Chain A
Amino acid sequence: MLQTKKISSVELTQTFLARIAQHNPSINAYIALDEAKSLAQAKAADALIAAGKASPLTGIPIAQKDIFCAKDWPTTCGSKMLANFVAPYDAHVITQFDAVGAVNLGKTNMDEFAMGSSNETSYFGGVKNPWDVERVPGGSSGGSAAAVAARLCAAATGTDTGGSIRQPASLCGFSGLKPTYGVVSRYGMIAFASSLDQAGPMAKSAEDCALMMNVMAGFDERDSTSLNREKEDYTRDLAKPLQGLRVGLPKEFFAEGLDASVGKVIDEAIAAYKKLGAEIVEISLPNTGLSIPVYYVLAPAEASSNLSRYDGVRYGHRTAEYTDLMDMYCKSRAEGFGAEVKRRILIGTYVLSAGYYDAYYLKAQQIRRLIAQDFVEAFKHCDVIMGPAAPSTAFKAGEKVDDPVAMYLQDIYTISTNLAGLPGMSVPAGFSNGLPVGLQIIGNYFDEARMLNVAHQYQQVTDWHLKMPQGIE
């Protein structure tokens, strides 16, 4: 539409900014906006389009999760610790979007340091689910999720360490993809658990996610875990028919703990895939239940190490009154971090401390291998794995906030793919009591193009991804 000049990027950006001004006060999806910066990028994009130098995302307004450093933008990671931090450089993901002339529409709210599944741990307040403002949007990419669902952006970025793209995509009813670990550079993306963190697209449709992936993915030497692979066109397989596709259903994803009404929606989605020519295969991922205990050793361990950089010396919060250096560290960190972040730092410090390392950290790494091997075995019998992305629909704000273990169980179906390093998606598959339900599609390593194909074909015969919450038209 931009290239046929029906609407300019400036007009499109202004439209979204007006929608944000109208709806953000009730949803709290954005925590930083800069109209002048966004419109300057839109103007530059219009010039590129006029000069015939446009690519698919030129001039498209994208919301950026506040975990990505964007030069001269506040970058807080949802924390008081970084409330005054203005990024002095761009994350690789930001550079990639700038290079194609996309517009940075603003920074989105998130659970503090990406630790949460409801966006309630943000220092800047919770985000409301546009489908029901009394409910949470999921997390940690809750602001991006609400912005996509409420059409307060064309698309958004997110990050997924244990489900932070897919669970909110499920709870807010849109398409979200966590790529294979190493496909998108982590440079300039504030670290939580470095062996699990991966950025990905959050958008209305699988096709939009594919276009986003074409921009986000690629080798970057500044991230030591970035994979040096040939550039891919993630849209290449979208149109392929699904005849003969082998879909694996892990029995552990349909066992106790899954809300029956969510299970029903997933069953209907599977039936739609059968009609599209897919063959259903029963598989087993026997160690699924262990993924949560393993994750809550490994992720906090890595986080306790990553977050040791926030000491109040060079940037971030420093306490107002202190006696000596130790006092300054301890007070600055106690004041700068919220309760959930402190809990995870304490767990991480404990499991790494002398005497416990073998029993917890090493043990968790061993079981991590068992979990990864489950997938290797499963993919011998199927091309993609399907199941629910989250055990329930969006829950009410405050419902799980005092019970960390109940909150952690939200990620039961998503965490194992992070541990294995596999790509996973959530696509809208229907509703339960008026709330969206996401179908999870898990692919083999580097199989994003096939997963996007599988999602896109479903979106050709269903319209769940086009549904919009009421009251925000």
Chain B
Amino acid sequence: MALSIEDIKKVAHLARLEISDADASATLTKLSGILRLIEQMQAVDTTGIVPMSHSQDLSQRLRDDIVTKTNQREAFQKNAPVLGNGSTESAVAEGLYLVPKVIE
């Protein structure tokens, strides 16, 4: 099935990727080529075949419900991005990460 510019924009929004009109049209060409490649799958009869999600037939391991990690907040927050919008400070305060206000 053929892709449209609107499809590209919709998928880009779902993927949280800003995309300009020019980029969307260039992307459309390349993605259509890739989808044509993928379409080769449709010629295969897969009736009754169990989907294979993983190469090893394993069940998930369980572990005891005990603390295994130590608190490394300070070390982790050293990698926080720069706040932006004019500020060159790190986007953290009092051990929390700073983001734009999400509730009024």
Q: Which residues of A contact B (CB under 8 A)?
A: 84-86, 88-89, 181-182, 195, 221, 224-225, 227, 289-290, 292-294, 296-297, 304, 308, 311-334, 337, 342-343, 345-351, 353, 359-360, 362-370, 372, 403-405, 408, 419-422
Contacts and interface: CB of A to CB of B under 8 A. Distances in A.
Nearest to A315: B79
Interface of B: 7-8, 11-19, 27, 30-31, 33-35, 37-42, 44, 46, 49-56, 58, 60-61, 63, 72, 75-85, 91, 97, 99-102
A329 B50 CA distance: 37
A158 B49 CA distance: 33
Nearest to B87: A320
A214 B37 CA distance: 39
Given A321-B84, A342-B17, A370-B49, A293 B38 contact: yes
B15 A345 contact: yes
Given A321-B84, A326-B16, 7 more contacts: A296-B34, A314-B79, A327-B100, A369-B49, A369-B51, A370-B46, A404-B34
B17 A297 contact: no
A405 B34 CA distance: 6
Contacts of B83: 318
Contacts of A304: 15
6 contacts: A88-B75, A88-B79, A182-B56, A313-B97, A318-B82, A421-B54
Contacts of A351: 38
Given A195-B55, A405-B37, A353 B14 contact: yes
Contacts of A311: 16
A185 to B, nearest CB: 13
Contacts of B63: 221
A364 B35 CA distance: 13
B56 A290 contact: no
B41 A325 contact: no
A315 B53 CA distance: 30
Given A328-B100, A346-B15, A314 B38 contact: no
B40 A334 contact: no
Contacts of A318: 81-84, 91
Contacts of B99: 313, 325, 328
Contacts of B38: 293, 296-297, 351, 360
